[in-house]
Structure 1
Amino acid sequence: MEVRIVSVGDAAQLSRFYKENEEHLRAWEPRRDSGYHTVEAWEHRLKQCSSTKHDNSSVHFVLTESDCDEIMAICTLTNIVKGSFMACNMGYAVARKYEGKGFMKILCQKALDYAFKELSLNRVMANYMPSNHRSAKLLKSLGFTKEGEAKRYLRINGCWEDHVLTSLLNPGNT
Structure 2
Amino acid sequence: MEVKLVSVSDAALLSKFYEENEAHLSAWEPSREGGYHSVTAWEQRLEEWSSEKLNGNSAHFVLTEPNQLKIIAICSLTNIVKGPFMACNMGYAVAQKYEGKGFMKFLCQKTIDYAFKELSLNRIMANYMPSNYRSAKLLESLGFTKEGEAKRYLKINGCWEDHVLTSLLSPGNT
Cα offsets for 1:24-46 (capped at 9, x unmatched): 00000001111110000000111
> How many percent of aligned residue pairs carry the same amino acid?
77
Whether the 8 Å CA contact 2:53–2:59 is kept in 1: the answer is: no
**1:22-171 aligned within 5 A:** 22-51=22-51, 55-171=55-171
Cα offsets for 1:92-139 (capped at 9, x unmatched): 000000000000000000000000000000000000000000000000
Whether the 8 Å CA contact 1:48–1:54 is kept in 2: the answer is: no
Moved more, 51-60 or 125-134: 51-60
Aligned length: 174
Structure 1: give runs of 5+ residues left out of the alignment: none
Residues in 2 aligned to 1:165 and 1:87: alpha-carbon distance in whole angstroms? 14
Residues in 1 aligned to 2:87 and 2:52: alpha-carbon distance in whole angstroms? 22
4+ runs deviating over 2 angstroms: 51-56
Relative to the length of structure 2, the TM-score reads 0.97
Residues in 1 aligned to 2:5 and 2:49: alpha-carbon distance in whole angstroms? 12
Moved more, 44-53 or 126-135: 44-53
Residues in 2 aligned to 1:151 and 1:90: alpha-carbon distance in whole angstroms? 19
Residues in 2 aligned to 1:112 and 1:53: alpha-carbon distance in whole angstroms? 16
Cα offsets for 1:65-91 (capped at 9, x unmatched): 112320000000000000110000000
Relative to the length of structure 1, the TM-score reads 0.97
Residues in 2 aligned to 1:57 and 1:51: alpha-carbon distance in whole angstroms? 9
What is the root-mean-square deviation in Å for CA atoms of aligned residues?
1.2
Q: Give the counterpart letter for 2:133 in structure 1.
A: H
